[in-house]
Chains A and B, each alone.
With several copies, the nearest count.
Chain A
Amino acid sequence: MALSREQIAMRVARELQDGYYVNLGIGIPTLVANYVPEGMEVMLQSENGLLGMGAFPTEAEIDADLINAGKQTVTTTKGASIFSSAESFAMIRGGHVDLTVLGAFEVDVQGNIASWMIPGKLIKGMGGAMDLVAGADNIIVTMTHASKHGESKLLDRCTLPLTGAGCIKKVLTDLAWLEIEDGAFILRERAPGVSVDEIVSKTAGKLIVPDHVPEMEF
């Protein structure tokens, strides 16, 4: 069965390491914060200028001057720091964030990612996404493997305008965990009960299937 949103977040959380500074994009990536393994500490970076983002505030704690990059009211954790947008993106662009998790429309075998613009639809902007994908060494893209109409989002070449070129190495879909190497997707893990054949049939880009593709366990 395809992974639920929560399972996607849980699987991503296994990539966390103690002491990681992490930037989580809007949507499913945000859920990763709920699955930080016991005994491990990570610190969340929000690109509007906050390192050490905490939980949502209680009614009593709400402060209009304390929001995250999704414009949601938040709190700070102990040891947080707050700074300008220039400093925030210095961190991001300079590669100081250990892990970035974000969604996408398409990724391809060259590590290209398209996530911000669908021609013909209103373009709202890239926000910080282009900086995040260009700045991070370690990025996990989370997305559904195929569109509602069954069209693969894992391509030989992205069809949509790019967010970044050659910057993605890890993709987690609702069906599989894949790595991108030397111009191909490599199937590393599959969702519980999802067959290799199904993944192959829903992957348009070049896919390498190792002899053994373990099932994820939850």
Chain B
Amino acid sequence: MAGFDKVVNSYEEAMAGLESGMTVIAGGFGLCGIPENLIAQIKQMQVKDLTIVSNNCGVDGFGLGILLEDQQIRKMVSSYVGENALFEKQLLDGELEVELTPQGTLAEKMRAGGAGIPAFYTATGFGTPVAEGKEVREFNGRSYILEESITGDFAIVKGWKADRYGNVIYRHTAQNFNPMAATAGKITVVEVEEIVEPGELDPTQIHTPGIYVDRLIVGSFEKRIEQRTVRKA
């Protein structure tokens, strides 16, 4: 790797340095736009006691759900979980901790983490269990709570195309949490469907500038669908 070439050639290399006890921020919403292969690599590495920050925790046997199988996750920071039985069991058994965070607050916490903003105020969650232990302050007659930002030791991101310099674009709603996750990792790893040469992507149409990206790898993806809804043609 020289200059700005972020491409690595193996998933081992992509996740090198990940250790037990670390915090990993993951892009994706449901099973859409999740870094499937990076998650599989984490499973392979058998690191434990992870804190995972992700809107959801996958399903039984797919996505982040596979990290539950060997109890690699100690804590989830998510807005919506429990789409899988193993999650539920570990939660009830006290093996897994969950910090439920409103979806918009979660997105903003990741963005703030990447943007050097340690905390912000939001009306979201005021007067609810989410506000417990948090400062409340009024601005212009309305009450807001203080929310702190999130950063991770690693961020794992799923893009569509990227150039070798790590400039990434996302496809459709597979964008979701990925751009914020990409900004918030000490080491940000992006896996994509296609890597192109620098200069092939329009500079004004980059979703994640390469400055946020440390490692880039091309993979192939199952892209499992959670709710297959169709209409007649």
Which of B15-23, B24-32, B43-51 sits within the interface?
Answer: B24-32
Measured between beta carbons, the chain B residues less than 8 angstroms from A165 are 126-128, 143
Measured between beta carbons, the chain A residues less than 8 angstroms from B106 are 85
A contacts with B: majority SS: loop
Which of A1-9, A71-79, A140-148, A197-205 sits within the interface?
Answer: A71-79
- Give Cα distance in the complex from A72 to B66, angstroms: 22
Inter-chain contact A162/B227, CB cutoff 8 Å? no
Measured between beta carbons, the chain B residues less than 8 angstroms from A86 are 107-108, 110-111, 179-180
Known: A131-B124, A164-B128. A82 touches B203 (CB 8 A): yes
Most chain B C-beta atoms within 10 Å of own C-beta, residue among A51, A72, A130: A130
Q: Which of A19, A48, A70, A97 touches B227 (beta carbons < 8 Å)?
A: A70
Q: Is B119 an interface residue (CB 8 A)?
A: no
Chain A: interface residue total (CB-CB under 8 A): 73
User: Mask for B44-67, Cβ within 8 A of A = 1, else 0?
Assistant: 000000000001000000000000
B contacts with A: majority SS: loop
Inter-chain contact B172/A83, CB cutoff 8 Å? no
Inter-chain contact B128/A162, CB cutoff 8 Å? yes
Inter-chain contact A84/B180, CB cutoff 8 Å? yes
Inter-chain contact A161/B232, CB cutoff 8 Å? no
Please classify how large the interface on chain B is, using the bins under 10, 10 to 19, 20 to 34, 35 or more: 35 or more
Q: How far is the CB of B184 from chain A (nearest CB, A)?
A: 8
Considering the complex, give the chain B residue whose CB is closest to the CB of A94.
Answer: B116
Considering the complex, give the chain B residue whose CB is closest to the CB of A92.
Answer: B104
Q: Is A127 an interface residue (CB 8 A)?
A: yes
A-B contact pairs, 24 of them (CB 8 A): A19-B3, A45-B211, A47-B104, A52-B203, A58-B230, A65-B171, A67-B32, A67-B227, A74-B229, A78-B198, A79-B165, A86-B110, A89-B103, A89-B108, A90-B111, A93-B108, A117-B129, A122-B92, A125-B78, A126-B100, A126-B128, A127-B80, A130-B104, A134-B124
